[in-house]
Amino acid sequence: MPHIELSLSAHDGEGAAATCRQWEAPVGGSADACLLLDAHGVIVASSPSCRAMLGLPDDVDRQRRQLVDGLLRLLGFSAGSSVLPQWEVERIPPLQALKTGALARGLLRVSADGAPRTLDAIATPLHGGTEVVGSLSFFRRC
């Protein structure tokens, strides 16, 4: 499997917002299901396939809402498919990468269009200097 690494750095004097802005166009135009969050978990950019997969509205990038602010319905893996408790929501890969500053991977279940979907998610933190300024996540249906 080929491996591609992309690195974009903000110019000196630019902050976290500049680092995230550099990723907006690549994420928004990607054919892959990907999502860009800022350091506070606010959706900055998402690809069309990501919005469809997660059941997010088309204008979610302009809304500037947190991923878990009622936009995403996360489900547990139990037989009843109940709503995921808040303490587990904070452990989904996009948010875990923000919290730990390390690569995060895991399965998650979402309810999109009334149908539960299991997704494989991998998220990497984005760094601006020494601080985590966002996370970039990729999703694949299982």
CATH label of the domain that carries residue 118: 3.30.450.20
pTM of the model: 0.86
pLDDT tens-digit profile of 55-64? Answer: 999 999 999 9
Place of tokens 């860009």: 36
Q: How confident is the model at residue 21 (pLDDT cuts 50, 70, 90)?
A: confident
| Assigned domain for 93 exists | yes
Number of compact structural domains in the chain: 1
- Confirm if 26 and 35 have CB atoms less than 8 A apart: no
Could you tell me where the beta strands, DSSP code E, fall in the chain?
Answer: 34-38, 43-46, 74-75, 104-112, 115-128, 131-141
| Assigned domain for 128 exists | yes
- Which residues, in sequence order, are bridge partners of residue 135? 37, 125
Mean pLDDT score across all residues of the chain: 88
| Assigned domain for 5 exists | no
- Which residues, in sequence order, are bridge partners of residue 59? none
Q: Domain range spanning residue 133?
A: 16-141
